[in-house]
Every structure is written in C-alpha cells, then in structure tokens.
Amino acid sequence: QRTLDMQGKKVLVSAGPTKEMIDPVRFFTNRSSGKMGFALAEAAAERGADVTLVAGPVSIEAQHPSIKRIDVVSAKEMYDAMNEQFADKDIVIKSAAVADYRPKEVQTSKMKKKEGDDVITLERTEDILKKLGERKENQFLVGFAAETDTPIEYGLGKRKKKNLDAIVVNDVSREGAGFEGDTNIVSYINKAESVIELKQATKKQIAVQLLDCILQDMKDDSI
C-alpha cells in the first residue's frame, strides 16, 4: 500500500536542462523536457511527501498543488538552489540534465558573424552532484546517468565516485527511453550494487517504482 507512505519525508528533486548564455541571443543547452523529474516530484507529492522541485527552463507545469517549485536557468543557479535546499531534506534526486560546460565569457552584445570558423572557449560548470555527495549527512542522495555506451558499468563507477546512495542509469540510446518522450527504461543501482531493471513504462510509473526502490533501501539502511 503506497498511499501517503512518504508523509513526513522532505524530498528535493531537480529536473530539466540548464541554459548557458553565449550572448544575449544565443545559448548552449542539454536535451531534457523535465518530464522525468516532474514525474518524480509528482509521484512523491501524491504519496504525501513535502516536495521541492528545482526546475531548469522547461515548458511543463507541476500538477500537484503542494509542490514547491524553484525555477532556475543556468548550472550556477541550479547549484545555488540545490545547495540552499539540501540541508533539511531526507531524499534528494538529481534527474536534471545539467550542462557540463559554459562559455568562459558571456558577451554583453550580440556576437557578429565572422568569415569562416569561430571558437568559443568553454569552462566547466559546477558539479552539483559531487558537491552534494561531499556535504551529505543523513540525506539519501540519488543521481541519474544518461549514457549511450556501457551504461551499467558507468553507473556503478559514478555512484561510488560521487558518494551517492543510488544511481538511476538511463540508456538514452534505447527506443522508448530517455529525453522528451512519455516513457522511459532505467536501471536502479544501490550501494549493494544490486541492479534493478525497470521495464518500459510511463515516466510516472517509472517514478513510482524508483520511489519504491529508494524507500526500500532507506528502510534496509536503518536496520
């Protein structure tokens, strides 16, 4: 019985892409509609959790009235919002597709076209997950990994490296999985390195099953 089984739990979810400005009219971004993250926020709110959703620029709305939504644009803004919200949360799920690089300099006026090629120097953005992994006390921290090659091996390594309690591996090269669509196919990997494969289902159904996995692991951890 799932009804209200997350009452009293504080959940923080990040969703959507980030946008890194080049000049006032151009930007770099990642593919992500926000659907997976919003589904997680909604599934948790429906089960009675107190949910905060940090959303990059997306065109969808959170349906559940109790979700507290914080809108951000860039990786730096998402980093600040997640760090500010982190301390009192029980479960933190990072499904956002954060840009790994941003232009080193943001031009204040529109860049003029040149003859031939041009070069934009990029710098790394803040690694939000790594920082939260370092700060972690009692939070159950879950990362996502969008991969196309050897996703499970990659996920196992990333979970350890970033000090995560679990990682959700999303093989975005599979039909019916990944960006923009209404369905997904993922694998959930926990600290014991058990790999739970969730078959193709709507993002909402996947979200419900991921929350089941997380709650089970939290229960096992507390024994």
Q: Are 183 and 177 in contact (CB under 8 A)?
A: yes
- 100 near ligand PMT, judged by CB under 6 A: yes
Residues in contact with ligand PMT, shown as a per-residue x/- string from 19 to 58 under the rule CB under 6 A: -------------xxxxx----------------------
Q: Which stretch binds ligand PMT (CB under 6 A): 40-48, 65-73, 104-112, 119-127?
A: 119-127
Phi/psi region, residue 34 (left: phi>0; alpha: psi -120 to 50; beta: rest), is: left
> CA 155 from chain center: how many Å?
14
- Contact status, residue 102 vs residue 48, Cβ threshold 8 Å: no
Residue 97 and residue 16 in contact, taking contact as beta carbons nearer than 8 Å: yes
Shortest Å, Cβ 170 to ligand PMT = 4
Q: What is the residue type of 110?
A: K
Q: Which of residues 130-169 bind ligand PMT (CB under 6 A)?
A: 143-146
100 is in an annotated binding site: yes
88 among annotated binding-site residues: no
Q: How many CA atoms lie within 13 A of 101 on its CB side?
A: 8
Q: Is 144 known as a binding-site position?
A: yes
> Is 110 marked as binding a ligand?
yes
92: β partners: 12, 141
In the list 12, 128, 166, 210, the residue contacting ligand PMT (rule: CB under 6 A) is 128
Q: Which residues define the annotated binding site?
A: 100, 110, 144, 158, 162
Q: Which residues of the chain form contacts with ligand PMT (CB under 6 A)?
A: 32-36, 75, 94-98, 100, 125-129, 143-146, 170, 172, 178-180, 203
